[in-house]
Amino acid sequence: ELISSLRSKLQTLWEERELVLSEARACAERGEELEAMVQDVCKPNEFERYMMFIGDLEKVVSLLLCLSSRLARVQNAMRRIDGNTDAEEKQSLNERYKLLSRQREDAKDLKEVVSGILAKYLTDQQLQDYRRFVQVKTSLLIEQKDLEEQIKFFKEQLENLEQSIP
């Protein structure tokens, strides 16, 4: 029963992944339309920044997720600090917290720089379309990453269970 349940869950996750990939393809088509529009209205160096940002959006999203996760772990560790924790460890946690906060803000700033450039050239509606595109693309990337992790987890569980049964 457990094996059957895991297989069923995996099947559901694969179907969800296909839906997300389909949405990602539609989003990519919208991105190509936006790219053409931005290329028409921006200076070449600004268009290059836009393309670099869009090209790196997946990396930026992954970086933000990773930094947020690390930041949460450091914050949890800082909350567990008590009178027995030595000064060096407290100092180390504070430094890590500051560094991770700066890195997260730098990643966010890149997004704002691109928005600022585009605000000079695009109409309010076009700028809204761009922001909606980035938001949808980001959401799809996060959802894709989450589904991949769940699929990996359930595959491992299924493999371990199948190996444990004689």
The residue-averaged pLDDT of 2-9 equals: 93
The closest alpha carbon to 143, from 45, 10, 16, 6, belongs to: 16
Can you give the residue range of the structural domain that contains 97? 1-164
- The residue type found at 165 is I
In this predicted model, what pLDDT tens digit does every residue of 43-77 receive, in sequence order?
999 888 888 878 777 777 777 777 777 777 877 87
Sorted by sequence, the CB contacts under 8 Å of residue 47 that are 6+ apart come out as: 38, 39
pLDDT band at 102 (very low <50, low <70, confident <90, very high): confident
d(CA 156, CA 148): 12
Number of domains in the chain: 1
Both structure tokens of 123:
């109409």
CB 34 within 8 A of CB 118: no
The residue-averaged pLDDT of 127-131 equals: 88
